[in-house]
Structure formats: C-alpha cells, structure tokens
Amino acid sequence: MEQKDKKVLCIGLVCLDIISVVDKYPEEDTDSRCVSQRWQRGGNASNSCTVLSLLGSSCAFMGSLCAGPVARSHDPLQCKAPVLLHVRKLHHSLKLLPLMADRRNVPDVTAEDFSKVELRHFKWIHWEGRNVDEQLKMIQQVARHNAALPWQQRITISVEIEKPREPLYELFAYGDVVFVSKDVARHLGFHTPQSALEGLRCRVKVGAVLICAWAEKGADALAPDGLFIHSDAFPPERLIDTLGAGDTFNAAVIHKLSNGARLEEALTFGCRVAGGKCGFHGYGGIADMVTRQE
Ligand code: ADP
C-alpha cells in the first residue's frame, strides 16, 4: 500500500458533551437560563478524527466509549470498549463504524488490544495521553514495526500531553510530533509558548517536533532542526465556541504534516482552521470554511 493511501489513526477518548449555551459566564451559586443546549460527540481523539475527516484525511479512531443510557440513546456508537472505528464522511455528517468491540468496563485501549491493529494500514498514529504505561507499550510496537521499514514507509508517532498530570510527561520522549497544551505549560511554570518550548525541548527526542498552541496567541513550534516557528492566531469575526479548538488545531496540523507539508505551513493551517472553528458551534462548518479558503 502506498503511503498516501494509508490512514491516520487517533487513539483516545470519545464521550458525550452536553453543551449549555448561556448569555454570560455563570457566577458561582447562581441559576442561569440556557439560550440553547445541544449534545455533541466529544473526547479529544474523537474530535480530532471528526476534523481530520472533514478536512479530507482518511482516518480511524480507536478508544473506549463512556458507558450509559444517555450516550447509547444519542449516538450510533454502542457503549462497549475498546472499540476501533472508522470515521467516514456521509453528507457532511459523520458515520462511525465499529470494527472491533468486545469487552465492557475497560476504560482505555491496552497494548494487547493494539497488537490486533494491522499497522500497515496507517501512516500516522496519534495518542491522546491517558494510560501512559500501556500507551508506551503501543508506541514500542510501532517502533518495532518501523525498524523493519525504510523511513518513507514508517508510521509517524504523535502524542498529545493536554492534562497537567505528571505520568503523562513521560510521553514527551516518545513522539515524533509532540503537542503540549498551554495548561501543561503553565502548570510547569511557563507563561508564553516560546518559553514553554525553550524549557521543554530537553524532554523531547532529538529531531522531534514540539508544538504548543496558546489560544488567541496562536501557536509555536520547535522544528527538528532546532529552529522556532510561530503562527499568529486567526480570530473569527465573532467568538462563538472555543470547545475543541485544541483538538481542531491538532487535527489540522496532523492533516497537513501527514500529507507532506512543511511545519510552518501546517502550523499556520492549524491556527487558521482552529480560529475559524471558534466562529461557529461544533465542527460542521469546517468543511465549508476550508472549501471557501481554497
Ligand atoms: P484548547 O482548546 O486545548 O484550550 P487552545 O486554546 O490552545 O486549545 O487553542 C488551540 C488553537 O485554537 C490556538 O492555537 C488558536 O489557533 C485557536 N484559538 C483558540 N482560541 C482562540 C481565540 N480566542 N481566537 C483565535 N484563535 C483561537
């Protein structure tokens, strides 16, 4: 299979987000009237899959589903875990097809589950940092797979370190591309994306890309040659919904890099798509937005 025909696999969480829109940020211990409410499939890896698919990348999702009657009644995904799903475009909505769904009450994908994945179908695998011990074993499986292949056919490994939890920081050393959130950066004492990259570069492997998105400040990256790159943010005319901006950014960057774009282009595209997404609810507008920009 040619590299361009292979998919991007995202591993992590899918859950149900219940979003209540209110006029202003609620004060503690007060009641507010909702302007509207919606249920939306969420979870970082799931959101990134949604966006990758809307951008035209062929992708798959592997992860556990939050159990419960609410999720069951809302989503075609059944509440079993772990699950491997392909995401396909269907008239601008997304269809998720379960390929492997067996055990219940398993919160996260294990290395054993992952060993059943046919790695040759994938050119890029992205892990949302969660159950690190198992995720490191999965990454080792990919490293072994890669070792037998010429570099053009290797799977790129990306990791997202979003939550400020010490065990997740082990992942820094294992990604070819590492996304670190501003929350983690702040937690580690950094106040700007540039200082975060300076301070965290010693944690990533030589030649890795380290990326730090920072809301309205845009995003910064450390390139494999050690140079720093910056993209400004692209704020929408009106800020409507920033939920999932980070997942959108990650997906847009992965979409570009996995199709051979340079880091600078990928970073700018990530900020453009994520900024645009902040101008509407959910993700549905992304496909239209990208078509308009082309
Ligand atoms: P998260 O959703 O994980 O908190 P960030 O807030 O860092 O993620 O945002 C990710 C990207 O989304 C930023 O790099 C930026 O390009 C875009 N973005 C987020 N918030 C805004 C905003 N208020 N204005 C413009 N762009 C934004």
Residue percentage of the chain with pLDDT more than 90: 65
Cα-to-centroid distance, 59 and ligand 1 (Å):
23
- Ligand 1: centre distance to CA 270 (Å): 10
The predicted structure's pLDDT at residue 42: 86
Distance between CA atoms of residues 254 and 260, nearest Å: 10
**208 Cβ inside 6 Å of ligand 1:** no
- 236-271, pLDDT tens digit by residue? 999 999 999 999 999 999 999 999 999 999 999 999
Q: What is the per-residue pLDDT for 131?
A: 93
Task: Report if residue 284 sits inside a domain.
Answer: yes
C-alpha to C-alpha distance for 114 and 63, rounded to whole angstroms = 10
27 belongs to a structural domain: no
Is residue 99 situated within a structural domain? yes
Using one digit for the tens of pLDDT, what is the confidence trace for 215-226? 999 999 999 999
Quote the CA–CA distance of 209 and 116 in Å, as a whole number: 28
Ligand 1 near 233 CB (within 6 A)? yes
DSSP-derived pairing of the beta strands 228-231 and 219-222? antiparallel
DSSP string, the chain: --GGGPEEEEEEEEEEEEEEEESSPPPTT----EEEEEEEEE-HHHHHHHHHHHHT--EEEEEEE--SHHHHHH-SS-S-SSEEEEEEEETTEEEEEEEEE--SS--S--HHHHTTS-GGGEEEEEEESSSHHHHHHHHHHHHHHHHTS-GGGPPEEEEEE-S--GGGGGGGGG-SEEEE-HHHHHHTT--SHHHHHHHHGGGSPTT-EEEEE-GGG-EEEE-TTS-EEEE-----SS----TTHHHHHHHHHHHHHTTT--HHHHHHHHHHHHHHHTTSSSSTTHHHHHHHH-
- Indicate whether 83 belongs to any domain: yes
Taking the alpha carbons at both ends of the chain, their separation in whole angstroms is 29
For residue 163 and ligand 1, the question of a CB distance below 6 A is answered with no
Task: Report the candidate in 120, 55, 56, 110 with the shortest Cα–Cα distance to residue 84.
Answer: 110
Centre of ligand 1 to C-alpha 211, Å, is 13
Distance 290 CA to ligand 1 centre (A): 17
Q: Which residue would you say has higher pLDDT here, 98 or 121?
A: 121
Q: Which tokens belong to 135?
A: 């995720």
How far does the centroid of ligand 1 lie from the alpha carbon of residue 139, in Å? 28
pLDDT of residue 294: 67
Q: Which two tokens stand for residue 287?
A: 């496909």
Q: Is 216 in the pocket of ligand 1 (CB under 6 A)?
A: yes
> How many other β-carbons are positioned within 10 Å of the β-carbon of residue 192?
15
Based on the structure, what is the number of domains in the chain? 1
Compute the distance from residue 272 Cα to the ligand 1 centre, in Å.
Answer: 10
pLDDT beyond 90 at 78: no
Q: Which domain holds residue 112?
A: 3-22+36-293
Residue 246 Cβ inside 6 Å of ligand 1? The answer reads yes
- CATH code: domain of residue 123: 3.40.1190.20
**Whether the predicted pLDDT of 83 surpasses 50:** no
The structure's pTM equals 0.90
Residue 291, φ and ψ in degrees, nearest 5: -60, -40
pLDDT tens digits along 184-212: 999 999 999 999 999 999 999 999 999 99
Q: Is 17 part of a structural domain of the chain? A: yes
Which residues touch 100 (CB under 8 Å, ≥6 apart)?
82, 83, 84, 113, 116
- Tell me, in angstroms, the distance from the centre of ligand 1 to residue 55's CA: 18
Question: Where is pLDDT greater, at 76 or 66?
Answer: 66
Q: Is 243 in the pocket of ligand 1 (CB under 6 A)?
A: no
Q: Which atom of ligand 1 is nearest to the CA of 183?
A: 4
CA of 16 from ligand 1 middle (Å) equals 21
Region class of 222: left (phi > 0), else alpha (psi between -120 and 50), else beta? beta
Q: Write down the pLDDT at residue 102.
A: 35
Out of 17, 211, 271, 286, mutate this one to test ligand 1's pocket (max ligand atoms within 8 Å of CB): namely: 271
Residue 28 in domain: no
Looking at ligand 1, which residue's alpha carbon is closest to its atom 4? 246
What pLDDT, on the 0 to 100 scale, is given for residue 19?
Answer: 85
Cβ atoms of 252 and 51 closer than 8 Å: yes
